[in-house]
Each structure stands twice: as C-alpha cells, then as structure tokens.
Structure 1
C-alpha cells in the first residue's frame, strides 16, 4: 500500500512540468492533503484549491486516468488503511451533511451495497459454498469491529453445520491456541476490513501454512487478507466518522448463510423442528397476541 501511494505521488511529480498553473495547485493539494482529497468531489476539490471543476477533471486525465472518479477511487483505496480515528472524523465532516446525518449515512451505505453487487464475483461465491459444504471443520475469525460479523455468521452456521468453531478472543496467544489444530480439509473464514487486524492476518497466514482452505471476507483484492486467501468475497466497506460501516459485508454474509441453508434445507428443517419445541418448552420467545394484549398486566 505504501509503495503504491508513493508511486501515485511520484507520477504526479513527474508530470508537474506539463501541468497548467491551476492543475499544479490541485497536484500540490493532493500531495499534502491526499487523505482529504480522496473523499472530495471534483467540484469540491476545485472549490478548495480555487480552480474550476473541469480543471480537476483534466488534471486526472493528464495523469492517465479515465476521469476524476478513477483517480478518486485509487486515492480512497490507498489511504483508508492509514487514517487514524481523528483523521476519519475530519474526513467525514466533509462527506456527511450535519443537517441530515441519517439520510447521508443511509445513502452512503446504499452506495456501498450497490457497488458490491456490481463487483462481487458469483463464481468465487459458488466456490466458497462448495468449500464450506465439504470442509471437515469450519473456523470463523473476526476481531474488533469485525467481531459482530463473525458472531452473526457463527450463530447461523451453528444451525446449519455440526462442525463450527467461532474463534473469539482479545489475546493473540489465545487466538493461536484456538486454531492450533487446524489442518488440511478444514476451512477457515477470516473477516477483516480497514484498518486491517494484524491478529487476523497472522492467523490466516498460519492456517494457510497448515493446509486449510482459507476464505477471506474483506473489502478489496488488495487487502492483506485476500493476499493469503484461497477465495476472497469482496464487499465494500466505508467509514462513517470513526465508525466502520459494514452494511455491505453483512449483506454478503446473509447471502452466504441463505445459500448454504438452501443446500442443506432438509437437515435445517429437522433442526428447527427440534428447536421450536425447545423454545416453546422453555419460553425462549415472547408470545404476543394483539387481541389479548389490552388490559393485561405484565408478569
């Protein structure tokens, strides 16, 4: 990632002499404030440096990009692992309207699901399904903000399969203690998004060395998690202020659960029949009858 950022800056510097006065202003701003420029529209970037939107577009083309959105996408991919929580909040102040935070955040999430739908590889998805169906044991790894995704996946996989191990710990040593028996024939699902967890990456490298099938759920083929995976399910993540927005990854996980559930529907029917009896016997769920609700006391 670092070298690619340096390559982009080098490209800008090498083209500096061919740039117009206005384009040089853009170039200098990107070099010095790339973490902010990455999330600015062409119009906003032009406004900040004092040039027209068309000048910004021509600048991107001068660097060899098809247009400004392509340059912006490259910048976003390169810097999202580098931003501190404070920088995330600063960047978000330019992206999210404080007058309507709810609408702004929901629109950003919708955009990430749309991009994920357009870019995800159906063939890889099918390969992941087959790998999980034939695995001796399935391990699920996810820490920090990815831990809820791992727990959600583990909850439903425990209904579908008999061979699930959810690895959950805040300790590096405990994580390796839980995956020490991983071997050939097992499948390991690792979940991580920027800023990527070193614990998850190191664990994935280890299980790969043990001969397991490694499945990554991450945001990009450039992700360090994807680099050590046999199969990568790519779902676009985002940052809403200091918060990791993981709506698209959760949607992909939902699709994974549903697809596997369809493959093992007969077994799941039997499991749910048993569970329904247990839930009823031990009153796991509240029974609500709207017709009887009025006038009754809580017990």
Structure 2
C-alpha cells in the first residue's frame, strides 16, 4: 500500500463515493483523527463511529488491504514519528484506562517482544556481534529516551571489552568525543520514534569518516536504518505517551550475552575481581 499520508488519505477520499453508509463514517473519522485511529482496534474504531467490527474489516478490504491489521499498520507508520507528547496522551486514553493500565501495557509490551522475535534477522544479529569484535573502538549513541538503552549497553560492554565509548552530552560536545573516529571503528546508534536529530547527525558524521554503522531501531524505514550497514529491528509500538523500550532492551541483552559468551574466560575473571571490590567497599547489601 501507499507509504505516505497523502497517498493513504487520497485513497480514502477517492473511494469515498462508493463506500457504504457505515464505511463512510469510518472514512470520515480516519480523515479527521488518523492519529487516534492508528492505535485503535477494529472493535474500538467501530464503537467510536457507531458501526460493527465487521464493517471496519470490510472498510479495510475496500481500501485494498487484506485485513484491518494491515490498514492499522499503515496508519501507525504514518503517525508514530510525528506525534507530539500531547497527542500520545490522547491515544493513551483510547488504549488503556486507569483500571486496566497494568494489564494493557504489559500485554502491549509482550506483543512487541513477540513481533520482534518473529521478525529479527539472526544473520544480521551474528554480523552485529562480529562487528563489535572487529572494531578498534566502539562508540555508542542513544539520546532522549534512548539514552537509557545506550547507557545500559555501554555499561555492560565496558565490563567485557576495553574499547567502548559512550557518546553523551557532557563537558565536551558529542562531536569532540568522536574526534578520532575512523574507518577502523564501529558506531552503534540506538533510536526510536520520535527520532533524535542529534543522533542522526552523529551517524552522518561517522559515515563521512568511513566508520561502520550498526543500529538498533524500530523499522528499516527509520532514518537510523537509512544510514546503517547493519540494522537490528525491535518493535516499539507505543501503548501510551511513554515509549515502549522493552523489546529493544531485550535485543540489547541478547547482544551483551552473545559478546560475553565469546569472552567467557575474561568475563569470569572480571567479575571475580569485581566481587572482591564490591565486598571490600560494601557496595551491596
């Protein structure tokens, strides 16, 4: 199906005269509130406009989709990079309530992990791990909400390897921290909607230097993937104004474990030393 908002809306408008009365109600709602419709189930959308779930499914078929999930994904692809925090808050009201927030969010996170497991490419994952071992230096960049993922990844890789640099805002500018980056190095970019412009600029800078680029992002259509040599895709469809980072965190965990298994003797030695330090300085209870 068409890949941008204008094409999708034009498709709906072009077919509008031939739609049934109930389907026209759906079309009008999507044309006015496509950002909300993108995250509604077929049942919820039907309830909002006063038609049956089956009418919503037939509407999707009428537009040329095999089913409603395919139409919903097209809508989500259009809006997820554009939604403001206020719009995300409005979507949250449609998806979860204070009564079902726990189960609703946990189910959405479970679905993100399930979808990621089905779609992720094992060969790309293996190549990603090999790229980590073949690099002279490893730079990791993830900003805004993705900074948590980047910090976690860098923390554990630093326990296994000795050539990991976390790029972040601090005393020096990020580009100053990359001053000596070259084609012998690897940069790992982490980013999810809404994508940070600074992360994209950093990847462009690295690309100019011939640096290998590996990314963890939500789609091959993301601006990070467009600049990458290798892309690991982790689904992050949001159930609220809070980014869903469960699936990306799981992928990062898998990368850390895979790297650690290849250096298991070194890792064992490192953690034995750390245990002595933790015990000596009473780090843990």
Normalising by structure 2, what TM-score?
0.95
Map of 1:55 onto structure 2: 55
Q: Classify 1:170/1:144 alpha carbon distance in 2 versus 1 (closer, same or farther; 3 Å).
A: farther
Q: Is the 8 A contact 2:95 2:240 kept in 1?
A: no
Q: In 1, distance between residues paired with 2:268 and 2:245?
A: 30
Q: CA deviation at 1:238?
A: 3.1
Q: In 2, distance between residues paired with 1:88 and 1:113?
A: 21
The residue correspondences of 1:100-139 to structure 2 (distance < 5 A) are 100-139=100-139
Q: How large is the RMSD of aligned CA atoms in angstroms?
A: 1.6
Q: Is the 8 A contact 2:137 2:185 kept in 1?
A: yes
SS state at 1:251 partner: helix
Map of 1:24 onto structure 2: 24
Q: CA deviation at 1:283?
A: 2.3
Asked if 1:34 is matched to 2:29, the reply is no
- Larger mean CA deviation between 6-15 and 253-262 belongs to 6-15
The residue correspondences of 1:1-299 to structure 2 (distance < 5 A) are 4-169=4-169, 174-286=173-285
Q: CA deviation at 1:240?
A: 4.0
Aligned residues: 284
Normalising by structure 1, what TM-score?
0.91
Map of 1:297 onto structure 2: none
SS state at 2:214 partner: strand
Q: Classify 1:170/1:108 alpha carbon distance in 2 versus 1 (closer, same or farther; 3 Å).
A: farther
Map Cα deviations across residues 68-100 of structure 1 (whole Å, 9 max, x no partner): 011001111210111111111111111013213
Q: In 1, distance between residues paired with 2:53 and 2:110?
A: 26
SS state at 1:243 partner: coil
Q: Is the 8 A contact 1:143 1:170 kept in 2?
A: no
Structure 2: tracts of 5 or more residues without a match: none
Q: In 2, distance between residues paired with 1:79 and 1:61?
A: 21
Q: Which runs of 4+ in 1 moved over 3 A?
A: none
SS state at 1:83 partner: coil
Larger-Rg structure: 1
- Larger mean CA deviation between 268-277 and 242-251 belongs to 268-277
